[in-house]
Amino acid sequence: MRGVSRHRMRAVLLLMLFAFGPAVALAGVRWHEFGRSSSDKEKITVGRISLTFERQKDSRSSFPSDDLVVTVHSQGRESSEHWFTSAYGFGSVAIYRNMLLLKCGVGRGTYVREDHVKALRLDHNLDELADVQSSYYVLTNPHNAAPTLIEYSVTAKTEVGYTVLSFSLRKPQRGLPSEKIVRLKNDG
């Protein structure tokens, strides 16, 4: 009798792992904001990776505060830089495995700035893998001229040989896809 219950326990444990394993692998992305302070240089540490955000020194743009550079420092690797633009000079960043997710703004003006998420490889000099629009302004009430900002939440998971980024709306919105999926092959 004792041997049967031990085997049942193992079977139940294996069934639970198969049933809940995929859900455990799915991770909501934790964002860290930058550019909200008046400083021209800002440092964020995420795990063993240090990120320095600063305004570009030789910007020829009409909006020089929008032109930024992020420098990624990690122990045992050379620093990497990525030059980018983010409306009003702010955004947010997250790290998932060997990927830097950079959320930056596109467009200036009232009800114009929308966010894009760029996926950059940490192990390949910040090569850009994807750029996905993650927010939209939508007119949801015809009696109110002000549009509503609709934002996608981002989750990441690792499947066999792939990293999957899923951009999902909390509730369906007419005219927009309820989910966007980016599937990136982990072929080093």
- Statement: residue 9 has pLDDT above 70: no
pTM assigned to the model: 0.82
Cα separations (Å) of 39 from 34, 52, 66, 90?
10, 12, 14, 12
| 15 in a structural domain | no
| 39 in a structural domain | yes
| 143 in a structural domain | yes
Half-sphere exposure of 90 (CA within 13 A, CB side): 11
| 163 token code pair | 């990293």
| 127 in a structural domain | yes
In the 3-class helix/strand/coil scheme, how is 47-59 assigned residue by residue?
Answer: CCEEEEEEECCCC
pLDDT in tens, 124-144: 899 999 999 999 999 888 888
DSSP per-residue codes, 87-125: GGG-EEEEEETTEEEEEEEE--STTT-EEEEEEEETTTT
- Statement: residue 118 has pLDDT above 70: yes
Taking the CB of residue 96, how many other CB atoms lie within 10 A of it?
19
| 41 in a structural domain | yes
Output the CA torsion 11→15→18→19 (10° steps).
-170
pLDDT of residue 22: 41
Question: What number is the average pLDDT over the span 79-104?
Answer: 95
Question: What number is the average pLDDT over the span 19-34?
Answer: 66
Give the Cα separation of 66 and 47 in Å (integer): 27
Number of structural domains the chain divides into: 1
Instruction: Residue 72: give the domain boundaries.
Output: 27-185
pLDDT of residue 178: 96
DSSP H or E stretch at residue 135: strand 135-138
| 110 in a structural domain | yes
